[in-house]
């Protein structure tokens, strides 16, 4: 029996290994509140849905083999197969042929070379959005970017699905997107100073269980206990009661989904008309206050009654909350989920307005914060040097698409769109290359994505598992899981850099993404650029050395690599932050990176773009779908497809915790008992959830924690659909067959998964069995 340290998005742990098998995973000694999901990793590694050998979709392989002899020359001089023979619309419905590594790599190298030579590098889509695994060297998406950049570049993705709207509006308002990604007042300061915490979207504990890059200590539960012990009062504004943890004894204001902007404007109006706003702070630290005040007062006045009619929250509660916010040291937090909706910029901009009116920005425990608790280190102090990270090199193709516009790109080659003040054009995509992500989990309106997915000539996926994305590819290359290789794990808000020792040998025929790309690079003549002659361990040592010297520049001494590796990691002493303290103290000496150097309550830049869906200051604009819309038929429910507690996105859906959470074999959906009764739906029953975009089955859990008019169906159940046409039935409970695939606005083009109305009915027919998490697709021998 040997024991080695390792880490994952779910937490750090030690692995007991016996005879090349995982005997036990033990939470790291550093973790005060370990995540039980780590125990699913051992099961996942041995799962029957591991990709065992390189596999090629049958008709694609037949077409390529029958085109011009065998083999593909690395210089791409040979044309590809007759394209129609590849039956691109059959992706996801055909068996795969297992081939050996050499043939698979020849095919991939041949397609890349052919497409680059005929169509240019922009025709290769390598955005490959996705979480991959925690180790920073073997981070699959970063490896792919490094490889494709060395190959002359690729069309990439900017922004993300997490805070895609915030990432592009906050630079206009506050001067940096970092305000959405962990630039926050730290927990210790909140615990000591905050008297009232108004949480828009709550602070769901389920979301704090994970961290991209790994997490050595889950601290948020402990902080919340201290916050409560200090007498801080918590108000949670959310359609779901249990978004706010019981430990802080929250009061709950159920809000109609995606109407928070109206609530914020209603609170702002109350502050204004009751003279509770800080006119000095607004004059010295902000621009545009007068215009905002005019907007609040202009007909229709954005008063509490106006906000109440939109949000469903009583006007008296709105006025009372505004007064309490002005009386106390108040933290206004907004989850990322609020901006993952039509006009998702607005609740962020309006929250900044509200905080500016209270005048507590830059004071300990006051002001605003975006994304507290979205992941396990959000709100933790961040060390001042970059965490280890594999450099990708520059991408010579400089026209990325906004992350969530993938289906638009595939469906509309050459099409034009607006984005953040620019007029952009989609490339003509010939190859899609994905490593470390699952678009058939993460994208909205999957039936639409599937139509676009039939466009490219070749789709290559690296995966450890037969996810829906792998099943919809032409060439699938089996990747190792994190436990099968050495790595280095870190997130700059977590105080430990972790030595991730390989625990077991690669299962079946799997290889690391690095080894796969190294062999492809050799075939394509870019081995030196890609590998720089380093082995896995040499890279890990190199990344550590880079971090160590960056830390030294900040006076932080880290041990040498040998010591780091044998100790299993190194700890960094945490510090403390008050957000915008310097700016508050002296806005001239510490200006924001906005055009005015101040908080832009009105942005001339945004106004100059002339976008009707995002004018120059925060406004309430009716979303395309919401409960107050005329289009909402009486039976409609608002779909909240939030993050799943029992897994990370689609990862580990095939393992114990997620499997046991299923209801009648489907993803659980939660409904208010009164809404269920009106539809004749009982607890435990299978229902069909549907709208004009698609339909899926789900298993019902009734709960008073869900507001009337809302259905919660978390994202991440592995997609299993009987056809893929609009109207096709997805049988497992993947909400993304129902969500809407339109950008948040022309300014930010973020994903808007939370803008979706659905109907729900009992499903009385015999429900087909879910098989995607149990068995691979049909595989035929070569």
Ligand X SMILES: Nc1nc2c(c(=O)[nH]1)N[C@H]1C(S)=C(S)[C@@H](COP(=O)(O)OP(=O)(O)OC[C@H]3O[C@@H](n4cnc5c(=O)[nH]c(N)nc54)[C@H](O)[C@@H]3O)O[C@H]1N2
Q: Which does 404 bind (CB under 5 to 8 A by kind): Mo ion, ligand X, none?
A: none
Residue 496's nearest CA partner among 775, 774, 218 is 218
Nearer to ligand X, 185 or 603 (CB): 185
Binding mask 158-187 for ligand X (x = CB under 6 A): ---xx-------------------------
At its nearest, how many Å lie between ligand X and the CB of residue 632? 15
At its nearest, how many Å lie between Mo ion and the CB of residue 639? 18
Nearer to ligand X, 155 or 444 (CB): 444
Q: Which residues contact residue 761 at a Cβ distance below 8 angstroms, ignoring those fewer than 6 apart?
A: 679, 681, 687, 688, 690
d(CA 60, CA 143): 26
Nearer to ligand X, 151 or 385 (CB): 151
Q: Is 200 in the site for ligand X (CB under 6 A)?
A: yes
Nearer to Mo ion, 373 or 618 (CB): 373
| Residue written as token pair 């799997």 | 510
CA atoms within a 13 Å half-sphere pointing along the CA-CB vector of 612: 2
DSSP-derived 3-state class of residue 698 = strand
Q: Which does 645 bind (CB under 5 to 8 A by kind): ligand X, Mo ion, none?
A: ligand X
Residue numbers 23-62 binding ligand X by CB under 6 A: none
DSSP-derived 3-state class of residue 166 = helix
Nearer to ligand X, 173 or 468 (CB): 468
Nearer to ligand X, 371 or 455 (CB): 371
Nearer to ligand X, 38 or 715 (CB): 715
At its nearest, how many Å lie between ligand X and the CB of residue 616? 23
Q: Which does 663 bind (CB under 5 to 8 A by kind): ligand X, Mo ion, none?
A: none
For ligand X (CB under 6 A), the number of binding residues is 61
Q: Which does 591 bind (CB under 5 to 8 A by kind): ligand X, Mo ion, none?
A: none
Q: Is 72 in the site for ligand X (CB under 6 A)?
A: no
At its nearest, how many Å lie between Mo ion and the CB of residue 181? 11
Binding mask 153-192 for Mo ion (x = CB under 5 A): ---------x------------------------------
Q: Is 732 left (phi over 0), alpha (psi -120 to 50) or beta?
A: alpha
Phi and psi angles of residue 708, each rounded to the nearest 5 degrees, phi first: -55, 145
Q: Is 138 in the site for ligand X (CB under 6 A)?
A: yes
- Cβ atoms of 480 and 512 closer than 8 Å: yes
Q: Which does 200 bind (CB under 5 to 8 A by kind): ligand X, Mo ion, none?
A: ligand X
At its nearest, how many Å lie between Mo ion and the CB of residue 442? 8
Q: Which residues contact residue 538 at a Cβ distance below 8 angstroms, ignoring those fewer than 6 apart?
A: none
Q: Is 375 in the site for Mo ion (CB under 5 A)?
A: no
In the DSSP assignment, the letter for residue 301 is: P
| Residue written as token pair 């507290």 | 372
d(CA 725, CA 694): 9
Phi and psi angles of residue 581, each rounded to the nearest 5 degrees, phi first: -60, -45
Residue numbers 707-746 binding ligand X by CB under 6 A: 715, 735-736, 739
Residue numbers 439-498 binding ligand X by CB under 6 A: 441-442, 462-465, 467, 479
Q: Which does 126 bind (CB under 5 to 8 A by kind): Mo ion, ligand X, none?
A: none
For Mo ion (CB under 5 A), the number of binding residues is 1
Residue 10's nearest CA partner among 467, 656, 712 is 656
- Cβ atoms of 775 and 47 closer than 8 Å: no
- For the question of residue 426 being annotated catalytic, the response is no
> Could you tell me the CA-to-CA distances from 77 to 74, 108, 475, 517 in Å, in that order?
8, 14, 21, 21
Residue 151: strand pairing partners: none
Pairing of strands 496-500, 233-237: unpaired
At its nearest, how many Å lie between ligand X and the CB of residue 195? 21
Q: Which of 129, 348, 383, 763 is catalytic?
A: 129
Q: Which two tokens stand for residue 542?
A: 């190199």
- For the question of residue 129 being annotated catalytic, the response is yes
Binding mask 235-274 for ligand X (x = CB under 6 A): --xxxx--x-----------x-xx-x--------------
Interface residue with ligand X, options 648, 681, 729, 770 (CB under 6 A): 648
Q: Which of 60, 131, 187, 544 is catalytic?
A: 131
At its nearest, how many Å lie between Mo ion and the CB of residue 161? 5
Q: Is 612 left (phi over 0), alpha (psi -120 to 50) or beta?
A: alpha
Nearer to Mo ion, 181 or 518 (CB): 181
Q: Is 128 in the site for ligand X (CB under 6 A)?
A: no
Nearer to Mo ion, 456 or 751 (CB): 751
Q: Which residues contact residue 39 at a Cβ distance below 8 angstroms, ignoring those fewer than 6 apart?
A: 25, 656
Q: Which does 338 bind (CB under 5 to 8 A by kind): ligand X, Mo ion, none?
A: ligand X
d(CA 718, CA 49): 12
At its nearest, how many Å lie between ligand X and the CB of residue 71? 25
Q: Which two tokens stand for residue 242?
A: 């249990």
Q: Which two tokens stand for residue 351?
A: 């929250």
Q: Which does 735 bind (CB under 5 to 8 A by kind): Mo ion, ligand X, none?
A: ligand X
Residue 580: strand pairing partners: none
Interface residue with ligand X, options 55, 56, 140, 224 (CB under 6 A): 140
CA angle 220-222-226, nearest 5°?
110
Residue numbers 502-531 binding ligand X by CB under 6 A: 513
At its nearest, how many Å lie between ligand X and the CB of residue 169? 16
- Measured at CB, which residue is nearest to Mo ion? 162
Q: Which residues contact residue 596 at a Cβ distance below 8 angstroms, ignoring those fewer than 6 apart?
A: 287
Residue 155's nearest CA partner among 462, 516, 509, 431 is 431
DSSP count for the chain of H helices, then E strands: 25, 31
d(CA 392, CA 140): 11
- Cβ atoms of 305 and 265 closer than 8 Å: no
d(CA 602, CA 594): 11
Interface residue with ligand X, options 185, 518, 594, 651 (CB under 6 A): 651
At its nearest, how many Å lie between ligand X and the CB of residue 170? 15
Length of the chain: 782
Q: Which does 255 bind (CB under 5 to 8 A by kind): Mo ion, ligand X, none?
A: ligand X
At its nearest, how many Å lie between ligand X and the CB of residue 705? 10
Q: Which does 752 bind (CB under 5 to 8 A by kind): Mo ion, ligand X, none?
A: none
Q: Which residues contact residue 458 at a Cβ distance below 8 angstroms, ignoring those fewer than 6 apart?
A: 60, 80, 111, 115, 430, 431, 432, 474, 475
Contacting residues toward ligand X, per CB under 6 A: 130-133, 138, 140, 161-162, 200-202, 204, 206-207, 209-210, 237-240, 243, 255, 257-258, 260, 335-338, 340, 374-375, 435-438, 441-442, 462-465, 467, 479, 513, 640-645, 648-651, 715, 735-736, 739, 753-754
Give the active site residues.
129, 131
Contacting residues toward Mo ion, per CB under 5 A: 162
């Amino acid at each position: 029996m040997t024991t080695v340290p390792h880490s994952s998005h779910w937490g750090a742990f030690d692995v007991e290994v016996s005879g090349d098998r995982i005997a036990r995973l033990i939470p790291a000694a550093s973790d005060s509140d370990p995540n039980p999901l780590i125990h699913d990793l051992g099961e996942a590694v041995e799962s029957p849905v591991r990709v065992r050998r390189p596999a090629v979709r049958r008709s694609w392989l037949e077409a390529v083999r029958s085109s011009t002899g065998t083999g593909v020359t690395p210089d791409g001089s040979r044309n590809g197969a007759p394209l129609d023979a590849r039956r691109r619309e059959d992706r996801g419905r055909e068996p795969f042929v297992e081939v050996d590594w050499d043939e698979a790599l020849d095919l991939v190298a041949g397609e890349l070379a052919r497409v680059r030579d005929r169509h240019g590098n922009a025709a290769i889509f390598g955005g490959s959005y996705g979480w991959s695994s925690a180790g920073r060297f073997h981070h699959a998406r970063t490896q792919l970017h490094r490889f494709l950049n060395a190959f002359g570049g690729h069309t990439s993705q900017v922004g993300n699905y997490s805070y895609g709207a915030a990432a592009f509006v906050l630079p206009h308002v506050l001067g940096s997107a970092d305000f959405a990604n962990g630039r926050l007042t730290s927990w210790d300061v909140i615990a000591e100073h905050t008297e009232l915490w108004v949480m828009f979207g709550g602070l769901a504990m389920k979301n704090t269980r994970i961290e991209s890059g790994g997490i050595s200590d889950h601290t948020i539960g402990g902080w919340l206990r201290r916050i409560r012990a200090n007498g801080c009062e918590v108000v949670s504004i959310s359609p779901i009661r249990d978004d706010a943890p019981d430990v802080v004894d929250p009061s709950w204001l159920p809000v109609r989904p995606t109407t928070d902007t109206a609530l914020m404007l209603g609170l702002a109006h109350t502050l204004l008309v009751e003279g509770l706003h800080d006119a000095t702070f607004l004059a010295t630290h902000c621009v545009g206050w007068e215009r905002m005040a005019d907007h609040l007062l202009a007909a229709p006045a954005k008063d509490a009654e106006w906000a109440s009619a939109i949000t469903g929250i009583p006007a008296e509660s709105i006025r009372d909350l505004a007064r309490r916010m002005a009386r106390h040291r108040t933290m206004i937090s907004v989850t990322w989920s609020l901006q993952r909706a039509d006009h998702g910029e607005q609740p962020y901009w309006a929250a900044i307005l509200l905080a500016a009116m209270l005048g507590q920005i830059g004071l300990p425990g006051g002001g605003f914060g975006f994304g507290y608790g979205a992941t396990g280190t959000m709100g933790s102090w961040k060390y001042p040097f970059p965490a280890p990270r594999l450099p990708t090199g520059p991408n010579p193709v400089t026209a990325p698409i906004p992350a969530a516009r993938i289906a638009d790109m595939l469906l509309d080659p050459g099409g034009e769109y607006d984005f953040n003040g620019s007029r952009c054009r989609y490339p003509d995509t010939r190859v899609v290359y994905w490593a470390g992500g699952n678009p058939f989990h993460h994208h909205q309106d999957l039936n639409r994505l599937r139509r676009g997915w039939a466009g490219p000539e070749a789709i290559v996926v690296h995966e450890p598992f037969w996810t829906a994305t792998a099943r919809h590819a032409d060439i699938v290359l089996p990747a190792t899981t994190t436990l099968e290789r050495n790595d280095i794990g870190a997130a700059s808000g977590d105080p430990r850099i972790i030595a991730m020792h390989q625990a077991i040998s690669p299962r079946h025929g799997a290889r690391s993404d690095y080894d796969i790309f190294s062999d492809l690079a050799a075939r394509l003549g870019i081995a030196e650029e890609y590998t720089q002659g380093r082995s896995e361990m040499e890279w890990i040592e190199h990344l550590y050395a880079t971090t160590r010297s960056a830390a030294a520049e900040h006076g932080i001494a880290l041990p040498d690599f040998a010591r780091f590796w044998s100790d299993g990691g190194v700890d960094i002493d945490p510090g403390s932050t008050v957000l915008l303290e310097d700016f508050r103290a002296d806005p001239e000496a510490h200006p924001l990176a906005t055009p005015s150097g101040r908080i832009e309550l009105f942005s001339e830049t945004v106004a100059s773009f002339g976008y009707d869906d995002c004018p120059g200051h925060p406004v309430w604009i009716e979303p395309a779908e919401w409960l107050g819309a005329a289009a909402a038929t009486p039976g409609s429910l608002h779909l909240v497809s939030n993050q799943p507690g029992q897994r990370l996105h689609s990862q580990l859906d095939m393992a114990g915790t997620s499997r046991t959470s299923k209801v009648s074999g489907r993803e659980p959906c939660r409904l208010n008992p009164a809404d269920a009764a009106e539809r004749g739906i009982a607890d435990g029953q299978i229902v069909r959830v549907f709208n004009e975009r698609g339909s899926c089955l789900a298993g019902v859990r009734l709960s008073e924690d869900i507001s009337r008019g809302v259905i919660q169906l978390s994202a991440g159940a592995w997609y299993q659909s009987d056809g893929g046409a609009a109207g096709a039935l997805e049988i497992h409970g993947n909400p993304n067959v129902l969500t809407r695939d339109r950008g948040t606005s022309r300014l930010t083009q973020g994903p808007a998964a939370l803008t979706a109305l659905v109907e729900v009915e009992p499903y009385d027919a015999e429900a087909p069995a879910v098989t995607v998490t149990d068995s691979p697709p049909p595989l035929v021998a070569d």
